[in-house]
């Protein structure tokens, strides 16, 4: 919540009808038409600003998704991590760390067969994540 949002909520609470209920009569400053017009203008500005920020964020995300063409090998790397191809680099990193914690060979040291499976899985996850890191770097350079 930014400073303008906070200021808007303070002003809204100051000018709300709740104050009329508390004090029993309409305050003198509330009868001023210029002040009412200024309040309406501020309220409209704050609503428009929120809508513009949301729209610009959605447009950026849509452009990134449309611009991204994912090769089949990279799609398989996303699938190895259990992600869809429209996942971000941050999401890949989080899932990669979580999978390494689950499939780390040291966690399965007491059981040889499970340790072998965990070693294979962690190697596949490492290789997939390394390829995805390189691919994300190339995408950012273009």
Q: Could you tell me the pTM of the whole model? A: 0.52
Section 11-36 average pLDDT: 61
Residues 96/129, Cβ–Cβ less than 8 Å = yes
DSSP, res 27 = -
CATH for 72-141 is: 1.10.287.110
Q: What residue segments make up the domains of the chain, in order of their start?
A: 3-67, 72-141
Residue 134 is predicted with a pLDDT of 93
Closest among 2, 4, 136, 1 to 70, alpha carbons compared: 136
Residues 70/78, Cβ–Cβ less than 8 Å = yes
Question: Is pLDDT above 70 for 23?
Answer: no
Section 110-128 average pLDDT: 92
Lowest-confidence segment of 17-21, 110-114, 122-126, 130-134 by average pLDDT: 17-21
Q: How far apart are CA 131 and CA 127, in angstroms?
A: 6
Q: How many CA atoms lie within 13 A of 118 on its CB side?
A: 17
């Amino acid at each position: 919540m930014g400073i303008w949002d906070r200021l808007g909520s303070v002003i809204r609470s100051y000018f709300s009808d709740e104050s009329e209920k508390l004090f029993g009569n309409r305050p003198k400053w509330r009868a001023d038409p210029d002040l009412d017009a200024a309040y309406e203008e501020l309220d409209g500005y704050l609503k428009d600003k929120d809508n513009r920020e949301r729209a610009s964020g959605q447009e950026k995300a849509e452009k990134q998704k449309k611009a991204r063409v994912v090769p089949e090998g990279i799609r398989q790397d996303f699938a190895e991590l259990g992600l869809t191809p429209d996942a971000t680099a941050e999401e890949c990193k989080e899932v990669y760390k979580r999978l390494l914690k689950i499939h780390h060979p040291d966690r399965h040291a007491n059981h040889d067969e499970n340790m072998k499976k965990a070693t294979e899985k962690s190697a596949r996850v490492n290789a997939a994540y390394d390829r995805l890191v390189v691919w994300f770097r190339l995408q950012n350079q273009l």
